[in-house]
Every structure is written in structure tokens, then in C-alpha cells.
Structure 1
Amino acid sequence: MNIYISFDMEGIGGIDRFSDEYKAASAYSRAIHAHLQAVIDGIQRSPKNDEIETITVADSHGDGKNLDYLALSEMDERIELISGYPRGEYMMSGLDRHDVIFFLGYHASSGQHRANMDHSYSTSFHRVSINGIKCSEAMINQIYAKEKHIPVGLIIGDSGLYNQLILEGYMPYVEYVVTKDSLAHSAVVHRNFQKVRAEIMEKVALVLDKDFSALPLGDLTTPYNVTIETNTTLHADMAEMLPGTTRLDGYRIGMSFDSGKDLINGLMSLEVLCRK
């Protein structure tokens, strides 16, 4: 059995704004590694631990340089780290040969009410919709996972994403651990980490005991008709020059994809452009 962990930071407890990454770097690092350690502890204490061969961790926030390689190596000798940016299928790089996926530190899509640091792939995107549905990174990444026939078994993130995926019914079948209760874009109630850690370990063991072949893979189907509403007309001007894009109005770009791989890489291409 091989486990894939896609890491993002905005859904991690102890963090409530983007500037924590550099203004509170030490606390930031402790928080992200403590949450990952809880996942690894849950794996190691699971009855299925001996069946696991590889634990792949994809550092998928920002430039993909958040996680300490040596610290991860010490957590478990089966861990391999994917880092760096840009790279193909960014948040899901190297997904082949895995059996189940965990999303760690995930957050709600842009525009979700009471969601900490809400956005979808880029803070330059006001909204990303697929087939008319406002989508979070979790929903988009699941599309690519579905293509590989690999289920998302566990999501660890803020209450904003929980409300969107579980309460609003987009991924109600996924096990979920709430790390913090989001009050607003930059305000949260941080749950005590001892409780969060215990829940993470419990849910990891619960997921690993499931029949992965029976887990749902998601409902969105091809073609994936994407509308990206940018924050500025300048970003839309740059995006319009990409082959396959349609300018819908001053802020909106339309794109269509027949595969999850092309969908992720198309969105990431726009993300790279909008960083300029």
C-alpha cells in the first residue's frame, strides 16, 4: 500500500494569515510539521502499518519549499518528499502507483463565507468554476485523482472547507478533521492541538481500514468547462494570450479540458502567469 499526502498550509491550525509564513516563520514551521507528524503517528499506530511501503508527501504550498526534508526523513523511513515549483500537476505531482490520498492543510475556495485565507490556486483568481460549480482546490485535485482511480480518503483543514465539502454536499463521503473554526478571511478560533492530533490519528486509522476500491471518486465529469474570474483586467489580458482560452469579459477567462491532468496544468499555467 502506498499513501499520498498533498500538503497545503492555509488549513493548518495555528496559522491564520498568509504573512505567518515569514513574519512568524518559527511558529509556522512548528505548526505544519506537528500536523504532518500527527498523520504519520496515525499511520504508524494503524493495524495496516506493516502493509504500507511508501508515504509520498507533496509540498504543495507556494513555492513548494515549506517542509524540512531531514525532519520528514526522521518521522518515518518510508517518506519521500516532492518539493519545488513550478512542476507538472503541482499539488498532485507523482500520484501514480498510490492507493489512497490525504489532503493536509486544505482550505475553502475563493468566495466561501467564513473561510480562512480562501482562494482557488491563486490569490489572483477571484473565483474558479467548473461546469458552473464554484470549486476549491480539493475538488479540482480530486478530478485528477479520479482519472487515476485513486480515492481521496481524508481531508484535514479549516471549517470553511468542511462547510463547503461536507455540509454543502460536494464531497460528503470523505473523512474530515477540522483544525480551526474560521470566523473570517483572517480570523479563526484555533482548536487545541491535542484534540486535533487525536482526531487526525483516529481518522487516519479509520481510513486505512477501509476498502479503497469502494470509496467514491467524485461526481464532476468531462468536459471540464472552466471559468476563471481574475482580480484584475491585466491578469485577464495575460491569460487571454494562452492558446485555448476565450476572453468572456474584462475579468473572466474561459477554458475547456478533457482530462484532469490538463485541467490542473492549465490552471497552474495561469497561476504562474498571474504571479508576474
Structure 2
Amino acid sequence: MKIYMSVDMEGATGVVRSEQTKASRDEYRFGQAMQTHDLKAAIEGALEGGAREILVNDSHDGMINISPADLSRYGGRVRIISGSPKTLGMMEGVECCDGAFFLCYHAMAGTERAILDHTISGKAVFGVRLNDKEVGEIGLNAAVCSEHSIPVLLVTGDTAACEEARSALGQEVLTCSVKRGIGHSSADCLPPDDTFEIIRKGAFEAAKSLKYGGTGKNEIPRGAFQMDISFHYTSQADSAATIPGTTRIDGRTVRIKGIGMDLMRRWAGSLISLGGSVAF
């Protein structure tokens, strides 16, 4: 049984401000340490629950936040995909696994009382709709899992991210809340010792369930898709709309259609990256 762990940073224990998630800032060391703290809790729980292998995908920003040296204690049972760009970004390598964990995740752009809410790029994206349903990174990444019939078993982050996961994936998905958002950059946070046990136990239950045949439900559709990406500025949409195959819906919004959620996720990453590169 092989578990996939996509690991972001904004939803990690104690992280509340953007400075803690940017490698250029002194505060980043704290965010990096807490991301690794939550990951280790999930790894230990998953191994206790029956996982034989774990594939970690560093999924935040430049995707070089987690040191492989911090995972050496697990004796080769844990591997890590590090660096960028990756074809599937936050979901690179998922197709070879049996179940997925989304760790340290955050809520979609525009969510109230959510820590550092955004969808892929805070400076570019106003919102994303997939098959006429508003989604964030949880929904976009779960769609890739759905395409490969891989259940999303566990989501960790703030309370808003956990609520979003249950709404998008179904009430059966296990969630672990490590903090409750007060505003965009403030939260009521649990201490690391507490969150380690919460995440470890959640990962144990998720892995144990998969081992004994309880794959859960993934309510994200697969197959054909229509994705509308709304940018903050018309200049960003102008740039994204230069790509062949896109349709301009309005001043802010670009639409792309296709078949296959792997392709959808690649389009999302590419269009948002292009739109976000524009000066405004």
C-alpha cells in the first residue's frame, strides 16, 4: 500500500502570515519547520496504519522546502519529489499510489476566516470554476486523483480548509484542523505537540481504512472538463487568453475545455503562471 502526500505550507501548524511561507524572509524558517513537523506526524501515522511506502511531493512555492535528510530516519520507506517545474505540479507522481493525503493545505481564494486563502497564485487568481463549481487547490488536485481512481483520504490545514475538503470530497474524508482562522493573517492555533498527535492519529485511521478496503468516496468528477479562471486584472487575462484553445469569457475570465483531469491541472498551472507573470 503506497500513500501519496502532497505537502503545502500555508495550512501548517502555527503558520499565519505570508512572511512565514516565503524563503526570502527570516520568518520562513518557522514555516518550513512546521511544514516538516506536520509531514512527519502524517508519515508516522500512515506507517503505523499499514502503509508500506510513502511518496512525498513538496508542493509549496518553489517546491524545495522539505529536506530529504529530515526523512532519512524512515529507512527508505519514504521518498520525496522535490523541485519545480513539474508536469502535474502539486500532484506529480500521484498516479502510482493507492491513496492520497493533502497536508498543510489552505482554503480557496475568497474564503472568509481562512488563513492565507488563495488558489494557486494569490497575486493572479480571483477564482476558479471547474464544471461550473467553484474550486480551490483541494478540488483541483482531488480531480487529478479522481481521474486515476485514487481516493483522497486525509486533508490537514485550518478549519476553513477542512470544511472545504468535506464540501468538495464528501463528509467521509478525514480532516485534521490545526488552527481556526480569525482573519486572513490571524488564527487561534493549537500547539505543535497537540497537532502532531491529531495528525498522526488522522493519518493512522486513514491508512488503516485503506488497508482494510475502506477507500472512501471522492465526489470530484472525472473525464471532460470546462474550467474558467478569473484573474484579478484584465492584463492578466489578456496574457492568458493568447494561448491557443482558450476562450475569453469576460474582462477577467479565460475558459479552457478538454478531456482528462491531468490535462486540466496542467492547463490550470500554465494559464495561472502566464497570467501571474504580467506586470500591472
What band does the TM-score fall into relative to the shorter chain? Answer: over 0.9
Aligned to 1:142: 142
Deviation at 1:32, TM superposition (A): 1.1
Aligned to 1:239: 240
TM-score, length basis structure 1: 0.93
In 1, distance between residues paired with 2:220 and 2:15? 31
What is the correspondence of 1:38-57 to structure 2 with a 5 Å cutoff? 38-46=41-49, 48-49=50-51, 52=52, 54-57=53-56
* The one of 14, 22, 26 aligned to 1:23: 26
How big is the alpha-carbon RMSD for the aligned residues of Structure 1 and Structure 2? Answer: 1.6
TM-score, length basis structure 2: 0.91
Contact 2:19-2:28 at 8 Å conserved across structures? no
Deviation at 1:120, TM superposition (A): 1.1
1:197 partner letter: F
Aligned to 2:253: 252
In 2, distance between residues paired with 1:262 and 1:156? 26
Aligned to 2:274: 273
Deviation at 1:129, TM superposition (A): 0.8
In 1, distance between residues paired with 2:87 and 2:252? 26
1:129 partner letter: R
2:18 partner letter: F
In 2, distance between residues paired with 1:74 and 1:3? 17
What is the correspondence of 1:167-246 to structure 2 with a 5 Å cutoff? 168=167, 170-210=169-209, 211-212=212-213, 214-246=215-247
> How big is each residue's C-alpha offset from its partner over 1:130-178, in whole Å with a ceiling of 9 and x where there is no partner?
1221101111111111111111111111111122232x46532200000
> How big is each residue's C-alpha offset from its partner over 1:180-215, in whole Å with a ceiling of 9 and x where there is no partner?
101111111111222211111111111112145642
Aligned to 2:163: 163
In 1, distance between residues paired with 2:106 and 2:242? 30
Deviation at 1:243, TM superposition (A): 1.3
Contact 1:99-1:212 at 8 Å conserved across structures? no
Aligned to 1:127: 127
Aligned to 2:101: 102
Aligned to 2:9: 9
1:274 partner letter: G
Q: Secondary structure at the match of 1:243?
A: coil
More deviation, 141-150/208-217: 208-217
Contact 2:115-2:186 at 8 Å conserved across structures? yes
In 2, distance between residues paired with 1:248 and 1:30? 42
More deviation, 22-31/134-143: 22-31
1:255 partner letter: I
In 2, distance between residues paired with 1:273 and 1:68? 29
Deviation at 1:271, TM superposition (A): 2.5
1:20 partner letter: Q
Residue 266 (structure 2) pairs with residue 261 (structure 1): no
In 1, distance between residues paired with 2:119 and 2:162? 15
